[in-house]
Amino acid sequence: MSQNPFLVPYSTPHQTAPFDKITNADYLPALKEGMTQGRSDVAAIVNNPAKPTFENTIVALERSGDLLGKVTSVLFNLNSAETSPELQKIVKEASPMLSEYRNDIGLNEKLFARVKAVYDQRASLKLNPESAMLLEKSYKGFARNGANLDEKGKERLRAIDKELSQLSLQFGENVLNETNEYTMPVTSEKDLAGLPDYVLEAAKATAKQKGKEGWVFTLQAPSYGPFMQYADNRELRKKLYMAYNGRSFHGDKNDNSATIQKIINLRYERANLLGYPTHADFVLEESMAGSRTKVQGFLDELVTYARPAAERQLLELTTYAKGHGFTEDKLQAWDNSYYAEKLKKEKYDLDDETLKPYFKLENVLNGAFTVANKLYGITFKERKDIPVYNPEVKTFDVFDKDGKFLAVFYGDYFPRPGKRSGAWMNDVQGQKVENGENIRPHIVNVCNFTRPTDTKPSLLTFYEVTTLFHEFGHGLHGMLANGTFESLSGTSVPRDFVELPSQVMENWCYDPEALKLFAKHYQTGEVIPNELIEKIRASQNFMAGMANLRQLRLGLIDMYYHNQKPTGETVSQVEGRVDSVANLFPHVDGVAISPAFSHIFAGGYSAGYYSYKWSEVLDADAFEFFKEKGGLDNKAAADSFRKNVLEKGGSEKPMELYKKFRGREPSPKAMLRRSGLIL
């Protein structure tokens, strides 16, 4: 045990995780020791003869289980970004133990009695807002997770939580397997017509890596997306579309249909057990929206704006396609990106092939750093001596404007077989104040961008540029965190507030001043011309109605599963109901969104996917404030956003924080204007 790197003080820079020393054999012993220590911490609270106080009960509970948090943050980060069959096996063994551990604490009657005793005297404690929030969250955490149940109810809750943890892991593994196992080899050059050189070069490199002749396309985003946009061969577009949208929906070992039914049934049973009509009621009680009625109404109202715009745009796209050789009555889903890319090129003389040379990955990342510097005064300095879990990961020290150390930032940007698809932000160490020391966070951004080739560096599509800025916005929420309690720090906020910092950052990708800071031709160093910037801005709302409808479709699918008693309908039946309202393309057998909808079945967004649209209301309104008084030079807006949003985490109610930043509640009109859905 003495050799286990988790069980000795880290000797790395800033006490970062010693990824170079951690082996798979270290996890389970360290987890078990962490749980032992955590249970000992809780026992000390429960057996304290002194009467319950905020310090000896609430703060003590907040500080318990440090070692366990240290181990799980590394384990689950790696299970997403650098997994392997062996690591997946460890996580499967660990998850039910962790579920049991959490329930041992959450269902501890004596511990809850002490927490309730403090909560009942809250009016007389004169706590500051952050401490008051910790007390409220602590009490609700017990009440919302079974502390008031009888013994039979508690046992059932334990069984449900254990099964849910395993099902969620299985769901994610199945999607990863499906994504990794599929390849589409192409050996005839005529089947490659329309594909840009950068796509062909990447496909050739993939074929070489897999020991195959010709070109190989995969379901990874940098391969799938460009193929659907540019490939003239409609049959191959359909083939790749069916593979991507049929992931975990083939009735085989990776099929998630039965897993979905089990998950939604267990979530519903769990909510009922705790006194809530539905899983959505349970989740949304603690959200900014507050109720499933509010969320459903929000989504339904946005559909009334988005659908007419989407119908007009689909008609325009269909007319264009028919004028360019399309002979069928209706476009299929695998025609959408292809003809949209061509129409965009014709309308705005703009495509990714034109823009990519200006978006070298290193330049875009430096651009995000520079925007953060101009807004908040922070700086980034790359380090080579911080251990990483993969050689591709870059690390940076982050400093405040006065030179004070703020955070460690890890950037991980390319797809690998052990990395799940998509993009996300995590922390390996959270921020908190303990024993008078402000312990600074270690933040990770993980993405899946276009790899460098033998002849070109990593050149990003504009979508990838906005994705990098989005995840970096989450990163800033973590890096600038400045609270006392880790459970309220950084991104520990309601789901429908957490996307505000990330989506605010995306706006700078369309801002001329910001673009000129980093959009420089990778060969000539030429700053992106004004003409191209205007085209980017002019095309910002291109097909926005269809894009909005797609996001609303995902939110409605999520709510259909979670805002009522499970109907027993199949995945296809559920999606068919939603598609009657929020999908304009013809139905295709053999594909479905749900079996690979990891956000809601393997992530934390169940009954919360609406958050992306909800946060768009916030970010559009917030960005108007930045632009009102000087854009990047609007120090009043930047200082207020940092002080009231980025630093505060979940220490106060989200609406109160937003009003402190903006001076008023958000207006949805800014989002509708930006999307071109109203004038």
Average pLDDT, integer, range 459-463:
96
- Give the Cα separation of 53 and 125 in Å (integer): 9
In a shared domain, residues 361 and 505: yes
pLDDT of residue 62: 98
Q: Is 362 a catalytic residue?
A: no
pLDDT at 667 over 90: no
Are residues 418 and 485 both part of a single domain?
yes
Q: Please indicate, yes or no, if residue 362 is contained in any of the structural domains.
A: yes
pLDDT score for 29: 97
* Over residues 375-394, mean pLDDT: 98
Q: Is 597 in a helix, a strand, or coil?
A: coil
Dihedrals phi, psi of 425, to nearest 5 degrees: -125, 140
Decide if 155 is inside a domain. Answer: no
Calculate mean pLDDT across residues 86-99. Answer: 96
- The per-residue pLDDT for range 162-210, each reduced to its tens digit, is 999 999 999 999 999 999 999 999 999 999 999 999 999 999 999 999 9
How many whole angstroms separate alpha carbon 348 and alpha carbon 37?
61
- Catalytic, out of 62, 130, 464, 471: 471
Residue 306 maps to a domain: no
Residue with tokens 């690979």: 596
User: Which CATH number goes with the domain that contains 84?
Assistant: 1.20.1050.40
186 and 143, same structural domain? Answer: no
- Per-residue pLDDT reduced to its tens digit, 474-483: 999 999 999 9
Helix axes 611-628, 654-662, angle to 10 degrees: 20
The whole-number pLDDT of residue 584 equals 98
> What is the pLDDT confidence band of residue 256, given thresholds at 50, 70 and 90?
very high
Does 668 score more than 90 pLDDT?
A: no
Instruction: Check pLDDT > 80 for residue 1.
Output: no
| Domain ranges, residue 141 | 13-148
Verify that 102 and 221 share a domain, yes or no: no
- pLDDT-derived band at 672 (thresholds 50, 70, 90) equals confident
In a shared domain, residues 403 and 477: yes
Mean pLDDT of 490-497: 95
Please name which of 29, 198, 82 lies closest in space to residue 444, comparing C-alpha atoms. 82
Give the dihedral sign, CA 215/219/223/226: positive
30 has pLDDT over 90: yes
Q: How many helices (H) and strands (E) does the chain have?
A: 27, 9
64 and 205 housed in the same domain: no
Residue 679 has pLDDT above 70, yes or no: no
Count of domains for the chain: 3
Residue 2 pLDDT exceeds 70: no
Can you read off the two tokens belonging to residue 461?
A: 């599509």
Mean pLDDT computed over 27-31: 98
**Residues 518 and 627 placed together within one structural domain of the fold:** yes
SS3 content of the chain, % helix, strand, coil (to 5): 60, 5, 35
Residue 2 or residue 364, greater confidence = 364
* Domain's final residue, options 148, 171, 193: 148
Same domain? For 396 and 521 the reply is yes
- Same domain assignment for residues 21 and 130: yes
Under the banding of pLDDT at 50, 70 and 90, the label for residue 400 is very high
Last residue of a domain, one of 197, 219, 246: 246
Stated pTM of the model: 0.92
**327 belongs to a structural domain:** no
Q: pLDDT (tens digit, 9 = 90+) per residue, 197-246?
A: 999 999 999 999 999 999 999 999 999 999 999 999 999 999 999 999 99
For residue 425, list its beta bridge partners: 445
pLDDT tens, position by position, 555-609 = 999 999 999 999 999 999 999 999 999 999 999 999 999 999 999 999 999 999 9
Residue 52 lies in a domain: yes
Do 471 and 408 share a domain, yes or no? Answer: yes
In a domain, 408, yes or no: yes
pLDDT tens track for 267-305: 999 999 999 999 999 999 999 999 999 999 999 999 999
Same domain, 504 and 370: yes
User: Residue 81 — pLDDT band, cuts 50, 70, 90?
Assistant: very high
What is the rounded CA–CA span in Å between residue 351 and residue 525?
Answer: 20
Cα 149 to Cα 106, 133, 277: the distances in Å are: 11, 24, 16
Determine, yes or no, domain membership for 385: yes
Q: What's the pLDDT tens digit per position in 42-63?
A: 999 999 999 999 999 999 999 9
In a domain, 502, yes or no: yes
**What does DSSP say about strands 405-412 and 442-446: parallel, antiparallel, or unpaired?**
parallel
Alpha-carbon gap, residue 447 to 470, rounded angstroms: 11
* Angle, CA 154 vertex, CA 151 and CA 160 arms, to 5°: 145
Closest CA to 247 of 187, 171, 162: 171
DSSP conformation letters of 71-112: HHHHHHHHHHHS--HHHHHHHHHHHHHHHHHHHHHHT-HHHH
> Are 126 and 202 within one domain?
no
Of the candidates 578, 581, 610, the one whose C-alpha atom is nearest the C-alpha of residue 594 is 578
- pLDDT of 197 reads 92
